Structure 1
Amino acid sequence: MATIDPSGEIANAVEKAIRAVPRHHFIPPVGLVAPVRSRPYLIDRDADPGGWWQAVYSNTAIVTQLSDGATPLRELNGDYTSSGSAPSTVADLLNLLDPEPGNRVLEIATGTGWTGALLSHLVGGRGEVTSIEIDPAVAEQAAKNLADAGVAVTLIVGDGALGWPPGAPYDRVHVSCGIRAVPYTWIEQCRPGAVIVLPYCPNFGGNHSLRLVVLPDGTAVGRFPGFASYMMMRSQRPVAPLDPRGPEERHRLRTRVDPRTIAYAPAGADLAMAAMTGLEASHCSATDEHGELFKLWICDPHDPHSWATAVWRPNSVEYDVYQVGHRPVWDEVLNAYFLWVSWGRPGRDRFGMTVGPHGQRVWLDSPDRIVG
């Protein structure tokens, strides 16, 4: 059987688990491989078994659902809504989680079931793994996958944001979907000293891994060790920008700041801008009738009527900004970026987060230096 060789350093226990739990039990006969810099393509175990096996035992994510199941994978058109994550990505988060034999673990977002099986292997026969999946069809397939692999995981169909009180208190919480706002319910259901690991995805530039430790006072505190990006938790998906009806809410501006300065800012700047503004950003390169262009979108995830686009074109001294709604989102982002510059351009490793009953706060260097 082929073996997976995830990139990067892997803790010995995690490496053994990855090699002990065959991934092919958790990948469907037809899947979608979506490389970052090339076109997505289908893998089909019946039509091309060699290609299927090669993809399964490579370090790549394999999409298993489009548009919450509304679009067949073969159409190659739709939002990615469930997948088997890349082995190196899984390994990174499991290393941060550092589960120990006998731990009681809560997994948020079962997906294919492979990570739940790895967790079960890591905590051993005395440990317990409870996994929550919101999509009944995904959960049903995960249950079959786990049974085929001979792995016992308690599988719950429900909203992972609510946790699972009957299984509490937990020693570890492993989150396999993107989180913008950390649900306090997870902290309430943990023991003091418990570890929560999640992909923190404010969706402003790059996203981040977050490792929290639950304190005796009922809060959780931690830092951002590196990069992580997952499909968003369904209840936290952003709304799509809309163009308001009234022309009085549309504004055309000019800026001397190259939009790529914001789009390609370092991870520390991304964290700072997201924390200070609560906005999201995305970008793309394209061409139109005037030639090459680069477009940056800024939007309020809670208000589809508040957004802006900034457009870069070659040999320009100033750039067009088209802003919609009453909120000056472009100005807010620029102010946040240059405030980050004034701090000495701190990197991601200097930022952290505290989560309590009244919400979450991003901080710089220490929890008493709140950002935003």
Structure 2
Amino acid sequence: MDIATHLDRLIATLDLDGQDAISQAISAAVRAVPRHLFIPDVGLIEPRAGSRRLIDRQADPDAWFEVVYGNHYVVTQLDDGRTPLTALEGDYTSSASQPGTVATLLKHLAAEPGCRVLEIGTGTGYTAALLSHMVGQDNVVSIEVDAGIAEQAAKKLAAAGLRPWLVVGDGAAGHPGHGPYDRVHVTCGIRDIPPAWVAQCRPGALIVLPWHPGFGAGHCLRLVVQADGTARGRVVDGAAYMMMRSQRLRPDENPERDDERRRYWTALDPRALDHLSAGADLAISALTGLHAHSETGVDDDGEWLCMWVSDPVDAGRWATVTWRPGRSRHVVQQAGDRPVWDEVLQAYARWVAWGEPHWSDFGVTVAEDGTHVWLSSPENVL
């Protein structure tokens, strides 16, 4: 199969059928920038949870191209480079994002020719290449925190005939030297939205980012920079990305599991919280500031799911809730002087009392004094 056919197949999988100018511009960029130029010969994929495997261009080129031009993300680094991909174990720390997700964020970004774009997270260089095609390479500034990844991206971009401005550094600081910007495109998960991005933009600029406030799923947030130096906007889609390195949970933010703990029962199935609509997890996150993640497995007693809820400020404050099949009550273990599980239940009850608002009803204002989550209108801050 030739590259043109592969590109046709990729474009057909993306939601770019609209006749609007931005969909056509993204489609043209995808066609002009062959994705295989930015994917390493050996990458890691996980088509199903727990089923990691390698793709190898030399060993099986057909399978490699099938993945590269499908709607798949490809992991390119584990544990910040400390673990080889061949180990198939470790934390994902860099990847080529799923093309469908890339297209979704670019549609919300709505970058037009001549827009000056700041990209946070160069990665493989693929999205910097797409943006270079859409707005002109001289208008794209892309920041990458990992010098080795940045070097590889620069080589791949040069091989594709593109030379956007590439910077090595912490994207949270932005890059004022090439501002002010009309667009900020973020390719890593963000917990706390850096005010530097807002300060380096023109009024009316758009900032599109994967927002991971801590509880539950990631969300695509689209902010508009205001004349007063703030930025505000709504959640417009889902978006799950690897966290920005400077905003990852630090070791002392992980729950301390050996503290004195209290044990009791709850009737609420933790699976309900684990699979809540994005509206509920946004409400819980905004009202409590707590973090949560779930683990699943099988042991001698059968399946289990354990939800960990923790206070990011004090790792000694945490709770776990464990589900087992066939049980109407579920074990809660709680530690520290903050009743975190009770707060989750109270926040969930408030979301229900509000009429179970959808994720699209929530928005954010970024100001000098921090990030403020609101429901329905900026005046209704949670």
> Alpha-carbon deviation of 1:291?
2.4
1:167 corresponds to which of 163, 178, 185: 178
Confirm or deny that 1:321 pairs with 2:332. Answer: yes
Point out 4+ residue stretches in structure 1 off by more than 4 angstroms: none
Q: In structure 1, what is the Cα distance between the partners aligned to 2:337 and 2:38? A: 48
CA offsets per residue over residues 46-83 of structure 1, 9 Å max, x none?
11111111111111000000000000011011100000
Q: Secondary structure at the match of 1:28?
A: coil
Confirm or deny that 1:369 pairs with 2:368. Answer: no
> Alpha-carbon deviation of 1:320?
0.5
Q: In structure 2, what is the Cα distance between the partners aligned to 1:96 and 1:51? A: 32
Q: In structure 1, what is the Cα distance between the partners aligned to 2:315 and 2:83? A: 25
Alignment of 1:321-340 (within 5 A): 321-340=332-351
TM-score normalised to structure 1 length: 0.96
The number of aligned residues is 368
Confirm or deny that 1:72 pairs with 2:84. Answer: yes
Q: Secondary structure at the match of 1:15?
A: helix
Q: Secondary structure at the match of 1:197?
A: strand
Confirm or deny that 1:309 pairs with 2:320. Answer: yes
- Whether the 8 Å CA contact 1:179–1:236 is kept in 2: the answer is yes
For 2:319, give the aligned amino acid. A
> Alpha-carbon deviation of 1:245?
5.4
Q: In structure 2, what is the Cα distance between the partners aligned to 1:194 and 1:341? A: 35
Partner of 1:101: 113
Partner of 1:59: 71
Report the more deviating stretch, 26-35 or 209-218.
26-35
Confirm or deny that 1:215 pairs with 2:226. Answer: yes
Distance 1:246 1:207, change over 3 A: closer
1:140 corresponds to which of 148, 151, 154: 151
For 1:8, give the aligned amino acid. D
Distance 1:164 1:20, change over 3 A: same
> Alpha-carbon deviation of 1:116?
0.4
> Alpha-carbon deviation of 1:97?
0.3
Q: In structure 2, what is the Cα distance between the partners aligned to 1:159 and 1:203? A: 21
- Whether the 8 Å CA contact 2:16–2:27 is kept in 1: the answer is no
Partner of 1:263: 274
For 1:219, give the aligned amino acid. T
Q: In structure 2, what is the Cα distance between the partners aligned to 1:124 and 1:107? A: 14
> Alpha-carbon deviation of 1:109?
0.5
- Whether the 8 Å CA contact 2:259–2:316 is kept in 1: the answer is no
Q: In structure 2, what is the Cα distance between the partners aligned to 1:149 and 1:264? A: 42
> Alpha-carbon deviation of 1:301?
2.8
RMSD: 1.4
Q: Secondary structure at the match of 1:193?
A: strand
Q: In structure 2, what is the Cα distance between the partners aligned to 1:345 and 1:334? A: 14
CA offsets per residue over residues 150-208 of structure 1, 9 Å max, x none?
11211000000000010110000000000011000000000000000000012422210
Q: In structure 2, what is the Cα distance between the partners aligned to 1:23 and 1:292? A: 40
Partner of 1:8: 15
> Alpha-carbon deviation of 1:325?
2.0
Q: Secondary structure at the match of 2:123?
A: coil
- Whether the 8 Å CA contact 1:273–1:337 is kept in 2: the answer is yes
Alignment of 1:57-206 (within 5 A): 57-124=69-136, 128-206=139-217
Report the more deviating stretch, 277-286 or 145-154.
277-286
> Alpha-carbon deviation of 1:244?
6.0
1:19 corresponds to which of 12, 31, 42: 31
For 1:286, give the aligned amino acid. G
Q: 5+ unaligned residues in a row in structure 2: which ranges?
A: 18-22
Confirm or deny that 1:243 pairs with 2:256. Answer: yes
TM-score normalised to structure 2 length: 0.93
Report the more deviating stretch, 148-157 or 296-305.
296-305
Q: In structure 1, what is the Cα distance between the partners aligned to 2:56 and 2:282? A: 39
Q: In structure 2, what is the Cα distance between the partners aligned to 1:200 and 1:152? A: 29
Partner of 1:46: 58
